[in-house]
Structure 1
Amino acid sequence: MILPVQEMERRLIQAGASRLCLAVLERFRNEFPECGEVGLVRAPGRVNIIGEHTDYNGLPVMPMAIDREIVFAFAPVESVEVEVVALDKAYEKVHFVVSGDIPKFPTGHWGNYIKAAAQAIWNWAATRRPDKLPIRGVKGCVGGDIPPGSGLSSSSALVVASALVLGRELDIDRASLAELLAKGERYVGTEGGGMDQAVCLMARAGSALKIEFFPLRTNPVPLPPECAVVVANSTVTANKTGAARVAFNTRVAECRLGLELLKSVGREKNPRVAEATLLKDFMALEPNWQQVLNLLPDEPMTVEQISAFVGQSEDNLRRRCLTMRDGSLLPDPEGGFKPKKRCLHVLTEAQRVEQAAEAAERGDSELLGRLMNESHFSCAHNYEISCPELDRLVDLLREYGALGARLTGAGFGGCAVAIVKHEIAPQLLDAVWSEYYQRFLPTRNLEIPSQQNQVLFVTKPMSAAGEFFGG
């Protein structure tokens, strides 16, 4: 809903809106005094309870939206220009023209996430609602309390908020928008799946969300009522635009290579596995996938070795498995690819998601916790996306009473998530604050955070993204 600026402020105060919302509105008013009316959109961050790096393999995840979010205050304009400032003045103003082929800012620029949404929305309209072109631009202000690089999906929340703002006249259903933005966010260079966009757009207050892909389906999963969800930020930043992006994209490629190996081994007894295009397909087509997986070489492999194993040319294998969305070829990692270990994680993680959803629905917090612990072990040892800080943080969460704890998000830094009985949550927070943040971080030459609730907090499942006061 677009309202006069003063009326929006009055309604926000009356509704008990957060200081973040009011601060974003104030910055908008100061930056764009010529805009007499304003709309306001929120998009929550997320924490993934279980199911890491399964989504882009077509396999399920179980995240929930959290009470940290991106807020976007905006005023529509008649032109196709977008002009957006950040609440944090350390980020430079974003200014670009909306089209179906938007030039990128330099790698790492925060405005690329707004551009990703804008380009995806324009291209959707071009094929489905050309009468809505050109897409109108906006003047706006963005702020948030999701720590960037923390594994809580600040980037996807910004993409979703931007899409809701720019696509407000298109009436795209939530499932279609989630799938559109999952592909659209690859504009920034990561080869991710669709979990973040789906939970941001389709979350249910009070429940986690089991998400399945191709086709996209969601099912609310109530968490055990006696448990709280704790999020703990390692303070190690996983930058999706730096070395972590290469490591992330390498994992995606290793899954593709692993699928080629599995098909090569499995098709002799089960010709149907040749039809598989994702690990999800192979798992569905081959009931004895664990036996087939055991036949793959344990050691790291070069492209040349994988090519010889599967009977494909190196050029063909690189084109099919190592080509990124921008057309570039992923470099070979030092030490070789590890397709067997990556597939072992993904396929067993998918099983853990199914078991965790069943355990949560039964209220079996002990089993849910054990599955989270198993997930962290696999993330650390099979997918190799943990780091010493995350491992220490997870150990301390368990030591001080968590039923289960694991890294969450893409890894290489970011956050851990834990489930803990409500009655011991305060003591756990105090102990982890003391042991990890005040004692351990200095030993890693990392700064002690100034405020506990910015890095270590209890959260609850929140509702999906949307516009304030209707719309």
Structure 2
Amino acid sequence: MTAAERGFRAAFGYGPAGVWRAPGRINVIGEHTDYNDGFVLPVALPHAVTVAAAPRTDGRLRFRSAQAAEAFEADALPRPGTVAGWAAYPAGALWALAEEGRPAGGLDLFADGTVPTGAGLSSSAALVCATLLAASGDDPPEPRETARLARRAENDFVGMPCGIMDQSASMLSREGHALFLDTRTLVPEHVPFDPAARGLTLLVVDTRAPHRLVDGAYAERRRTCEEAARLLGVAALRDVTDLPGALAALPDDLTRRRVRHVVTENARVLEAVELLRAGAVDALGPLLTASHASLRDDYEVSVPEVDTAVDTALDAGSLGARITGGGFGGCVIALVGTDRAEAVADAVRRAYKERGFTEPAFFPTVPSAGAHRLS
């Protein structure tokens, strides 16, 4: 019996109809490209959100979480913008289903997660995806459709203007592979990615820097990109093929830097995919580091804790390192020889202590499976 099922029984006094699991994600490369119709290369984490759930016939919603003290109850499906905190995500999932003509009715749900919250590892997308599967029971939408519904829940119910990478990674990923996704066509390619076979570790550093995405900075960057695409006469920045010409046509330096990041980041994703297809995992390092420099300088989404982790990891022998996720805090990934992983972690700990930062957390990760029903 899973912890989610035990929690469900304790909360509601009966057993769930089923248990579903959806993973968080880490993005290998391709940051802030998804809402520009670009390319991304995430992997699903072993860390996941598990939900135990059972349908109700009276339209009532009751949500509980092992990680949150506050419970949520409602007699009917709430409207967008009316639910605060963690419960907005499962409520948004049910709203998205109803908006698409698949009303779920009432639901009892207990959520239990191992994805670190506030670290930029998509715990919210995992919760939405798991809820969509649970509410759909024996007739779930196909995985790409579930990812689209999850994005709609976050965009239109919660109010987070994210792209579709997080939800796609949670739904579509395969064990031992990175997910190469063209976010315009949503056609996935599963590219073999096995760092351990080359004596390497993908080390995740949770910087413990506050992760601030809903304060407007993320939305501001998205608006800048959309306006730049309008000025350049393209549907999205992924369509820019002449970067020098595009930069010359833009009116200000800030917009030019934002566009330069998106265009060069798309190119780095395509190069990374070619390296993985060739089995050259160890050659990814310089692309990761170049991605971080672009996110730090052109997109301006880094913070001192993140830069310290990246610089220290590189100085300690990592092949490459970068911020991952939306930025403004969150996590760093470092590609490092497995025999050097602990030394890199120790060096980052020392650097944080010297600067008075909160002690970071570390975990190695491997590409894992996407969302599925457990029982």
Partner of 1:185: 154
Identify the match of residue 64 of structure 1 among 43, 49, 66: 43
Matched, 1:202 2:172: yes
Matched, 1:112 2:88: yes
Q: Name the SS of the counterpart of 1:85 in structure 2.
A: strand
Partner of 2:335: 419
Partner of 1:269: none
Partner of 1:232: 205
Cα gap change, 1:239/1:110 in structure 2, threshold over 3 Å: closer, same or farther?
farther
Preserved CA contact (<8 Å) 1:206 1:222: yes
TM-score by length of 1: 0.75
**Distance in 1 of aligned mates of 2:344 and 2:76:** 48
- More displaced stretch, 405-414 vs 354-363: 354-363
Partner of 1:221: 191
Structure 2 stretches of 5 or more lacking a match?
none
Identify the match of residue 460 of structure 1 among 348, 362, 366: 366
Cα gap change, 1:36/1:262 in structure 2, threshold over 3 Å: closer, same or farther?
closer
Identify the match of residue 32 of structure 1 among 5, 8, 12: 12
Aligned residues: 371
**Distance in 1 of aligned mates of 2:168 and 2:146:** 8
Preserved CA contact (<8 Å) 2:89 2:153: no
Structure 1 stretches of 5 or more lacking a match?
1-8, 10-20, 264-275, 300-337, 450-454
**Distance in 2 of aligned mates of 1:117 and 1:239:** 22
Q: Name the SS of the counterpart of 1:214 in structure 2.
A: coil
**Distance in 2 of aligned mates of 1:432 and 1:256:** 37
Larger radius of gyration: 1
- Write the letter of the residue equivalent to 1:279: L
1:402-456 superposed Cα distances (whole Å, 9 cap, x missing partner): 11110000000000011112232233233333433x444xx24x3x36xxxxx20
Identify the match of residue 279 of structure 1 among 217, 237, 256: 237
Preserved CA contact (<8 Å) 1:230 1:457: yes
Q: Name the SS of the counterpart of 1:92 in structure 2.
A: strand
Matched, 1:383 2:299: yes
Deviation at 1:38, TM superposition (A): 4.0
**Distance in 2 of aligned mates of 1:26 and 1:233:** 29
Deviation at 1:96, TM superposition (A): 2.5
Q: Name the SS of the counterpart of 1:91 in structure 2.
A: strand
Cα gap change, 1:292/1:31 in structure 2, threshold over 3 Å: closer, same or farther?
closer
Matched, 1:294 2:210: no
**Distance in 1 of aligned mates of 2:332 and 2:344:** 14
Preserved CA contact (<8 Å) 2:206 2:331: yes
Q: Name the SS of the counterpart of 2:257 in structure 1.
A: helix
Preserved CA contact (<8 Å) 1:100 1:120: no
- Write the letter of the residue equivalent to 1:466: H
Q: Give the fraction of aligned pairs with identical amino acids, expressed as a percent.
A: 33
Partner of 1:91: 69
1:115-161 superposed Cα distances (whole Å, 9 cap, x missing partner): 1111111112x2xx6xxx4x232212111121211110011111111
**Distance in 1 of aligned mates of 2:373 and 2:87:** 21
TM-score by length of 2: 0.93
